Structure 1
Amino acid sequence: MKSVKRVTGNRRQFLTYASAAAAAVTVPYTFTARRASAQSKSERLRFALIGVGGNGTRTAPVGKEFADLVALCDVDSSHLAYGNDLLCDGKADLYSDYREVLARDDIDVVQISTPDHWHTKILIEAMRAGKDAYCEKPLTLTIDEGKLIRKVQKETGRVVQVGTQQRSSFNLFNKALAVIADGRLGKLKRIIVGIDAGGWSPEIPVAAVPKELDWDRWLGPTPVMEYRYMADPKPGVDRKYTNGHTHFRWWYEHSGGKLTDWGAHHIDIAMLGIAAAGQNNDPVSVGGTAHHDVEFKDGMPVQHNRYNTARAFDLNVAFADGDVTMNVRHDVDNGILFDGERGRIFVNRGKLVGAPIEELADNPLPEDAINKVYRGMPIVGNDRPAHWANFVHSIEHRTLPISDVHSHMKMLNVCHLAGICCRLGRTIHWDQSTEMIVGDDLAASMMSRPYREGYEIEA
């Protein structure tokens, strides 16, 4: 499907509202959003949404407060129709091929909300095409893809914000980091990261590909596999099992399971916490145990008709600072427990608790404590709105956003190492200085994957 119309003209210049916010960082989001919406058309960014599924329709409405959404791209025509009605009042230009979007010189920004296995190829080509990008997490499918992205980002200077919006949560996660940075916990000794169990499925039969879905293009760089789908047989249960939309994250062919799903959020905050405490968060090894519902040989699933990512896990990450360890597991509360010499706190998307938090009533943090952990950038809104505001601010000033690709990949590499540990059933050793797995040739070979012919990534 090509666009219903093509827009011509020179690339629009813009003046983002975020520069004004820099002088008034306490202005409520509701006010600043109205200001952004009131800007003239010629001053606002124009962006395209590539991948109009769940994350796309959740994040794009926030982006619309700061930029004009003019184009949608998806390999499923039903997604395009739904997204166009929901997000654009039926007025967006529609595409099935992202390359047509990148070819437009009047689009400033792309939001990449595809399944994980497409992130790297589209992002690299977007940067090469002169686009800034908001890319959902996890940024990559493999460790080596992260090296390619970082290389291209440095070469092009494009601004890339990764969708780990917990980095822009000021009342919870940034407040927790500020408490740690202010020494309220002392030296960190132990961190427990709870990310819930992975997905389960019965055996899923091969099914006819929906007529609206281009399955071959959905697979893209990953190996050819048969489309599988099954509705839950239990009466009254509205649940489905598939290797396609939404459930792609439970297949190693397309994702990394819980470890790169929730792990990309919570392990991120855990490692930022180590750095905030002034300790070395360079990973050196990942070991532990995991359970899969299918058999593996040499790190690859041998059964292909049910979800194959780790469903249960108890993993330990060691760091260059030998005083602190991180335990990543499925069977504790979702969130992060920071345990230090002077106290402990627990934080997730619903709460921030612990004695050091209660003590803030009588001994508050310095006024600039949260701003310091936010690298001194303007604070506008909270969570996703703040994350998009930071992205727009970084575009105007050509600076690294709060979730830049370089710091994100240091964290995400730990998630990938954890996945390799689960698949091989042994401890994986890592050299941060060379960014290589050491002492294990098979594990090292899993830092990359071959791409299907016609979908290679050229960096």
Structure 2
Amino acid sequence: MSGSQPLSRRRFVQSAAAVGTAGMYFTSTGRAAADLSPNERPVFATIGLRNQGWSITSKSFRFADFAALADVDQNVLEQNRSKVGRDGRKTPDGYADYREVLDRKDIDAVMIATPDHWHTKIAVEAMLAGKDVYCEKPLTLTIDEGKLIEQMVKKTGRVFQVGTMQRSESGQRFLQAVAMVQLGRIGTIKRVTCGINSMSPSPVIPVTDVPKGLDWDRWLGPAPKVDYRALPEMRKGYGGGVPLYSNCHYAFRNWHEYSGGKLTDWGAHHVDIACWALGATETGPSKVTPLEYTLPVNYKDGQPTVHDQYNAATKFKIKVDMPNDVEMIITSEGDNGIMFEGTKGRFFVNRGKIVGKPIEDWKTNPLPDGAIENVYGGPVSANHTANFIEGMRSRKQPISDVWSHNRMLEICHLSNIAMRLDRALEWDPAKREVIGDSQANGFLSRESRKGYEINL
């Protein structure tokens, strides 16, 4: 199928109620996705393959065929090509340069799981090349990048899914939470607290040789040219097989050059759900105040003065003034999850539980039929890729659209800017700029390194 053509009509089943079919969808003839002929299945490519890149690829096998993979680390690229080629699947073509993927006319959509500082360039160029886009969260490195992506979605008409899976795959409890708030079960909301974990500082990380197979210059891409740094101790568990401390694989989230620390990592999940519940997906805060925080290195004029250690905040407590006099607290203390507090009670939700007196009241006063579907906008998909493909078919934006994602991510970006500048920021959610602070507004965008500018 051509990347500019909608998919044939498919119908998704509701995830929570479906037994034995969770995550599956069916064509108009009732055939499961796995039974579709090759010319009925969309053709995908993944750009950026370590950890989450492989996760979203492997979860998509039942829905799509993968014609190409791209990664700047040759070892990662070949390992993942081999894994895709198992179980009778065709081994996809491999590329070190993602632009070769975008040049292919047979690819309908790309999945982007590169480090955050690469997201916008690849996503914009993919849309201009006629591809629909699934991009991992956090979508952007800066607020202005989000505005550009929104413009390109409108200009090109492409379907764009942000990989905030908490809205679907791990989201049944979160959908219940959004429904609880929007149905007024805890009265008028006064406060919402997002617990998103602290981060450990690093020791001094020395310059060392670039690992064999890694194109370090291309990994840096739009970011400033710096030396590769790593310590020999290896990371265990998720993200294993790479140095525990480095300025590259996995640890990139701890550097402002490539990401935004825990604020844009876990914040992209919990602040998103909080804004959804509050009905604040088309607006933003009026003020962001850093109450308590720890930066692991010294800063001057908002820039780190030390370049051999992690520089994102390790601990923080941020107060965000939201519409309707709601106070949002983003904190690294306490349980990871979201606490909603209203005039009639409070409850807590995370990926493992939803608890509180209002939840106990479900025994006698359950949520009404259709409440979850009303929040989701239709039958709930248990698979984020399935929801994306449904959007490709209908040419409607999926559950994690760029506009709602960028609005909540602005809160996370502003929190980081406020800590870096050591002051509260007043925000104009209509103009999407800091009020009366030119220095802070200078952090809304970031210049790309020469040779890695976005090709518009």
User: What is the match of residue 373 of structure 2?
Assistant: 371
Which piece of structure 1 moves more, 414-423 or 283-292?
Answer: 283-292
The residue type equivalent to 2:373 in the other structure is N
- Return the offset for 1:159: 0.4
1:21 aligns to 2:12 (yes or no): yes
1:314 aligns to 2:317 (yes or no): yes
User: What is the match of residue 247 of structure 2?
Assistant: 243
CA–CA distance in structure 1, aligned partners of residues 228 and 6 of structure 2: 44
Deviation digits for residues 224-244 of structure 1, max 9, x if unmatched? Answer: 01100102399xx99621000
User: What is the match of residue 432 of structure 1?
Assistant: 429
User: What is the match of residue 203 of structure 1?
Assistant: 204
* 1:329 aligns with one of 328, 331, 336: 331
Does the C-alpha gap of structure 1 residues 320 and 176 become closer, same or farther in structure 2, counting only changes over 3 Å? closer
Q: Is contact 2:53–2:113 with CA below 8 Å preserved after alignment?
A: yes
CA–CA distance in structure 2, aligned partners of residues 265 and 11 of structure 1: 30
Gaps of 5+ in 2: none
Deviation digits for residues 78-126 of structure 1, max 9, x if unmatched? Answer: 1111111222337110000000000100000100000000000000000
TM-score by length of 1: 0.91
User: What is the match of residue 195 of structure 2?
Assistant: 194
Q: Is contact 1:199–1:250 with CA below 8 Å preserved after alignment?
A: no
CA–CA distance in structure 1, aligned partners of residues 341 and 144 of structure 2: 33
The residue type equivalent to 2:179 in the other structure is A
The residue type equivalent to 2:324 in the other structure is D
CA–CA distance in structure 2, aligned partners of residues 32 and 274 of structure 1: 31
User: What is the match of residue 5 of structure 1?
Assistant: none
- Return the offset for 1:129: 0.5
User: What is the match of residue 380 of structure 1?
Assistant: 381
CA–CA distance in structure 2, aligned partners of residues 421 and 107 of structure 1: 41
Q: Report the secondary structure of 1:241's partner residue.
A: coil
- Return the offset for 1:205: 0.4
The residue type equivalent to 1:292 in the other structure is L
1:172 aligns to 2:165 (yes or no): no
The residue type equivalent to 1:227 in the other structure is Y
Deviation digits for residues 357-399 of structure 1, max 9, x if unmatched? Answer: 1111211111110011112x33232xxx1x2211111111111
Does the C-alpha gap of structure 1 residues 134 and 31 become closer, same or farther in structure 2, counting only changes over 3 Å? closer
CA–CA distance in structure 2, aligned partners of residues 395 and 269 of structure 1: 24
Instruction: Report matched runs for 1:46-445 at 5 Å.
Output: 46-89=43-86, 91-168=91-168, 169-232=170-233, 240-275=244-279, 282-288=284-290, 289-322=292-325, 324-375=326-377, 377-381=378-382, 385=383, 387-445=384-442
- Return the offset for 1:15: 4.3
CA–CA distance in structure 1, aligned partners of residues 337 and 234 of structure 2: 33
CA–CA distance in structure 2, aligned partners of residues 30 and 145 of structure 1: 32
User: What is the match of residue 457 of structure 1?
Assistant: 454
- Return the offset for 1:282: 2.7
CA–CA distance in structure 2, aligned partners of residues 393 and 290 of structure 1: 42
Q: Report the secondary structure of 1:230's partner residue.
A: coil
The residue type equivalent to 1:153 in the other structure is V
CA–CA distance in structure 1, aligned partners of residues 306 and 85 of structure 2: 42
Does the C-alpha gap of structure 1 residues 16 and 163 become closer, same or farther in structure 2, counting only changes over 3 Å? farther
Q: Percent identity?
A: 47
Does the C-alpha gap of structure 1 residues 458 and 342 become closer, same or farther in structure 2, counting only changes over 3 Å? same
- Return the offset for 1:23: 9.6
CA–CA distance in structure 2, aligned partners of residues 448 and 405 of structure 1: 17
- Return the offset for 1:63: 1.4
